[in-house]
């Protein structure tokens, strides 16, 4: 509903109400219209009515004027776009991010925010903000997530016709010793052999199976947690990844599509792995029979005591405690995916094959993460032709039963987040 107020002899304020914000406060948009010099009273009245109608139509069409605050517009983006189009985990992460973004720029008019404002906010995150849990400076990835959220809001504004430029695009985040991208260490084949022996001797079968699937499949944690028994074909030895398991405080534990469309994949694995799965299924079936009516059937491989899907944090906590008890070096679960990839690269798997194996959205993602390993292997392979033509008499290649002399397991940069 529109209202008009005369500010002075030569300007009018037009106000349009359009619903309420998250706190129940009415959302009001306003604009100022100034008649052209020389217009008669009748012409002013006619043109003012036209401006009111046009302004109301813009609001109804979602083409918001640029004088709304960033917070008002960002909440519209979250309610009308993000909640329906983003993963619940990403939406939950955005909710946390707004706690720093809104106090900094939420009060500013959308059309008045400049590139300098956003760069100043990035500097503030780098130099003054700390992690609430650890008290340490914010990680580069965390800072990048804040700027990416702002950029998504401006992109939404451009799509609705409220703006023509995104001032948050390609903002460079200052890198310091404290916030530089973390490097993730991974296990070399010898360490994986030690881990396997420890699992054989000391671990419950459930966790032995879970970790073997992470290593052998190279799957993401959520993909392995999302496996159901109907995804396991014991006759053909095929395992299908069709979903992943996630958790948010709002939804609890739930299943949804994996990270990308190409993450849905089917692959054949060894008889030894399937023998281990068969043993685990028999153990789970016997446990279900003993538990009786208390068991809640979800068909998941990895469950809580009563059959409900396992919480995504449980495997990490278990492995950390297991490694500490056995005086074994602990790396995060995602390091097992990188270990899988490194062994395959050192055994001649191409980037295209590895990309399909890992379920990456494109081969460029694979090359971006593992480029340095491919480069080291290529450098080591420079003697292959020499050996082939007999110039070098030693017929052994550098690859020996899945081990590689290249120190590929040193570090993997995580500038773009886990993959």
Say how far apart CA 393 and CA 377 lie, in whole Å: 21
Residue for token digits 């965390």? Answer: 142
Q: What is the DSSP secondary-structure string of 234-251?
A: TTTTEEEE--EEEEETTT
* Domain identity same for 75 and 176: yes
* Domain identity same for 78 and 51: no
Domain assignment present for residue 153? The answer is yes
Q: Supply the mean pLDDT for the chain.
A: 85
* Domain identity same for 156 and 123: yes
Q: Quick one: tokens of 200?
A: 């054989």
Banded model confidence at residue 416, pLDDT cuts 50, 70, 90: very low
Host domain of residue 167: 70-180
Domain assignment present for residue 280? The answer is no
* Domain identity same for 111 and 17: no
* Domain identity same for 175 and 90: yes
Domain assignment present for residue 31? The answer is yes
* Domain identity same for 55 and 90: no
Overall domain count for the chain: 2
Domain assignment present for residue 158? The answer is yes
Give the pLDDT of residue 177. 76
Mean predicted confidence (pLDDT) in 6-11: 82
Say how far apart CA 263 and CA 193 lie, in whole Å: 28
Domain assignment present for residue 360? The answer is no
Domain assignment present for residue 271? The answer is no
**What is the radius of gyration, based on Cα positions, of the chain?**
29
Say how far apart CA 230 and CA 31 lie, in whole Å: 59
Cα pseudo-dihedral 385, 389, 395, 401, rounded to 10: 40
Say how far apart CA 55 and CA 52 lie, in whole Å: 5
* Domain identity same for 113 and 56: no
pLDDT for 265-320, tens place per residue? 999 999 999 999 999 999 999 999 999 999 999 999 999 999 999 999 999 999 99
Banded model confidence at residue 419, pLDDT cuts 50, 70, 90: low
Say how far apart CA 192 and CA 201 lie, in whole Å: 14
The residue out of 180, 198, 232 marking a domain boundary is 180
Say how far apart CA 370 and CA 343 lie, in whole Å: 12
* Domain identity same for 91 and 158: yes
Give the pLDDT of residue 100. 95
Give the CATH number, domain containing residue 134: 1.10.150.130
Q: What is the DSSP secondary-structure string of 52-68?
A: HHHHHHHHHTT---TTS
The span from the first CA to the last CA of the chain, in angstroms, equals 49
* Domain identity same for 114 and 157: yes
Domain assignment present for residue 187? The answer is no
* Domain identity same for 107 and 129: yes
* Domain identity same for 170 and 97: yes
Query: Which range is least confidently modeled, 61-70, 142-151, 181-190, 204-213?
Result: 61-70
The DSSP element (H or E) to which 233 belongs, if any, is strand 232-233
Banded model confidence at residue 409, pLDDT cuts 50, 70, 90: very low
The residue out of 35, 60, 85 marking a domain boundary is 60
Give the pLDDT of residue 227. 97
Q: Quick one: tokens of 24?
A: 């129940």
Length of the chain: 419
Q: Quick one: tokens of 248?
A: 């948010």
* Domain identity same for 87 and 170: yes
CB 409 within 8 A of CB 377: no
- Do the strands 11-20 and 26-33 form a parallel or antiparallel pair, or are they unpaired? antiparallel
The residue out of 115, 149, 180 marking a domain boundary is 180
pLDDT at 60 over 80: no
Task: Tell which phi-psi region holds residue 122, choosing left (phi > 0), alpha (psi between -120 and 50) or beta.
Answer: alpha
Domain assignment present for residue 305? The answer is no
């Amino acid at each position: 509903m529109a209202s008009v107020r005369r500010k002075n002899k030569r300007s009018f304020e037009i106000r349009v109400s359009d619903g309420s914000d998250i706190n129940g406060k009415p959302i009001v948009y306003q604009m100022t219209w100034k008649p052209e010099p020389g217009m008669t009273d009748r012409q002013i009245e006619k043109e003012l009515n036209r401006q009111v109608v046009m302004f109301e139509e813009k609001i109804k069409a979602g083409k918001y004027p640029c004088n709304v605050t960033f917070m008002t517009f960002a909440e519209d983006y979250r309610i009308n776009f993000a909640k329906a189009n983003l993963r619940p985990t990403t939406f939950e992460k955005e909710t946390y991010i707004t706690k720093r973004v809104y106090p900094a720029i939420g009060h500013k008019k959308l059309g008045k925010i400049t590139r300098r404002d956003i760069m100043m906010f990035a500097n503030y995150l780098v130099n003054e903000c700390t992690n609430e849990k650890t008290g340490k400076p914010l990680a580069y990835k965390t800072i990048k997530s804040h700027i990416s959220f702002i950029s998504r809001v401006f992109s939404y504004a451009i799509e609705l016709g409220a703006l023509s430029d995104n001032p948050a695009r390609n903002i460079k985040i200052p890198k310091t010793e404290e916030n530089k991208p973390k490097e993730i260490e991974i296990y070399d084949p010898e360490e994986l052999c030690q881990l396997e022996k420890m699992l054989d001797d000391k671990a419950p079968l459930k966790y032995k199976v879970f970790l073997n699937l992470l290593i052998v499949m190279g799957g993401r944690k959520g993909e392995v947690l999302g496996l159901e028994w109907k995804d396991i074909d014991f006759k053909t030895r095929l395992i299908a990844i069709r979903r992943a398991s996630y958790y948010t405080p709002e939804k609890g534990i739930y299943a949804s599509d994996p990270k990308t469309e190409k993450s849905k994949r089917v692959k054949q694995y060894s008889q030894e792995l399937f023998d281990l799965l068969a043993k685990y299924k028999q153990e789970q079936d016997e446990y279900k029979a003993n538990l009786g009516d208390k068991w809640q059937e979800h068909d998941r491989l990895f469950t809580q005591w009563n059959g409900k899907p396992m919480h995504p944090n449980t495997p990490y906590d278990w492995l950390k405690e297991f490694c500490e008890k056995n005086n074994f070096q602990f790396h995060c679960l995602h390091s097992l995916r990188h270990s899988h990839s490194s062994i395959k690269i050192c055994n001649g798997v191409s980037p295209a094959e590895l990309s399909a194996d890992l379920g990456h959205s494109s081969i460029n993602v694979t090359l971006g993460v593992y480029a340095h390993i491919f480069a080291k292997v290529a450098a080591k392979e420079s003697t292959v032709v020499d050996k082939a033509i007999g110039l070098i008499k030693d017929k052994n290649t550098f690859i020996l039963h899945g081990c590689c002399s290249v120190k590929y397991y040193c570090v993997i940069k995580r500038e773009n987040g886990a993959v």
